[in-house]
Structure 1
Amino acid sequence: MFVVTGATGNVGSHVVKHLADAGAEVLALTRDPEAARLPEGVRAARTDELPLDGATALFLNPAVVWQVGSEKILERAKASGVRRIVMLSSSSVLSDLDPQTNPIGARHRALEDEVEATGLEWTFVRPGGFAANALQWVDQIKAGDVVYGPYAGAQMALIHEADMGAVSARALLADDLVGKAPELTGPESLSFADQVRVIGEAIGRPLRYEEITHEAARERMSGGFVTPEMADSLLRVFAELVDRPQAISPEVERITGRPGRTFAQWVEDHVAAFS
């Protein structure tokens, strides 16, 4: 049995779908099982109950781990007979920045270390920027034709959550990614300004991106999961990416056998959110 944490989230929902399509037995962990919309045959349970008995593999979403507690989840996994953990990590762990100035990478690296220390089989899926981060602009786009944000020229090869889900499911189902940590990107590098333009083309409105200061962006970004320190770390990364196209990783196509989805494809899949 495969257990998926964060099973109704952006990535977890795709992991569940791929596993179900492969005919696997899947248990989806979510905060509200009764409200979960899952593929036929997939069972749901509450995340905080951690019903891992009978599970052979676990998809680990860090956001869930940090809510429930890594020690609780990992000890329960070992005691329940889980043999393999596939963790959704981050390419930020590869940064050369000092961990003190890269809290996002440091936090993910620490969790990777905890997973390795269990002695179980592991795969760390390390995506870069999520295409879904563009949803942060929904309210601005609905309110007008200008999106305000930092570093208009910062370039990223954003990855579609469906591709992260496909790679993660492959790591759960097959053995060739055990002990590997594939870095994932989308197939093209786009600036923030280009991303807003692509969204405008999809919804039939001419949108533009207007750059704001580091301080103003830090205030906008801070809150909830994102601490002021994390906001500063992200903004430093954005500053370094201005006018520097991101290298494209071949891993999505190598692992799944199909090219990664473009940002334009992601926008088409989510166009209703911006309209």
Structure 2
Amino acid sequence: MAPTAFFNPSDDGRLHPTKYSHSLWAPNTLHGPAVCGVAARRAESEFGRDGFRPARFTVDLFKAARTDPTDTVGRVIRDGGRIRVVEIDVVQYPANSPDPVTVARSTTVFVRESANPPGERWQRPALQVSGPEVAADDLISYFSRADDVDPVWSHDMSPMQAPVRKRLWTAGVPIVAGEALSPFERAVIAAESTSLVGNWGDTGIGFINCDLTVVLARLPREGRVVVETDSHVESDGISTSTANLYDADGQFGTGAVVGVNNAAAEIDFTTVDTRERYAEG
């Protein structure tokens, strides 16, 4: 049985998408978590430094990523004493083109760790969220209504197709087969679902995100990440959505996306079964 991951490595150094990276938006395309995850992987693995923590990750998804061999190209934009900025291009190699195609570009800001300044400031109270009892190798995402005091979790997406504030409990699929997810990679992959929980209404999801920004005060602990809708605004075919990111110890970051009207390819989750692959819009 093939391992569950977004990409398989190859001898040519490129990554080859698996079925777990395929999007529901259109045939032969990749979903956002795969594209965002592969950019975060390169930023951290090649450009991370001891004592510096990834505090902001922003990616512009300016072209549909296809199920083509994929690579990343990175460069350091700023290397200072407290702030280090890295840029990553996600590049694909179509079989019918002699030239590579850049489908996304990310910026990761690494910040030097130190002590907090003196004084006390308001913080959101810790959210204690207990998910269902599942096996350790269960990678299926579970959903509940965020405003329920005693949430009922289910992987069945049909009951959640309503104009309600949503909560997602996600494990995160590995980016590359044979590699465990780092806490930073888990945070980025989970935060991409800000678009799902924010833009999903009573007829499906008709906004597609063209970017993702993740801000992190700390990295998530071991275990699943909760993505909870915090705000959603839409006007004239443009939406903005934000979500709070939690682990068992409370909130550790925030996700934000801009969505554009994609109603012609709207995904109706009452008619789609996503259990056999990781595809959340």
TM-score > 0.5, shorter chain as reference:
no
Q: Which structure has more helix as a fraction of its residues?
A: 1
Q: Which one has more relative contact order, counting CA pairs under 8 Å at least 6 apart?
A: 2
Q: Which structure has more strand as a fraction of its residues?
A: 2
TM-score range, shorter chain: under 0.3
Length-normalised TM-score, structure 1:
0.24
Length-normalised TM-score, structure 2:
0.24
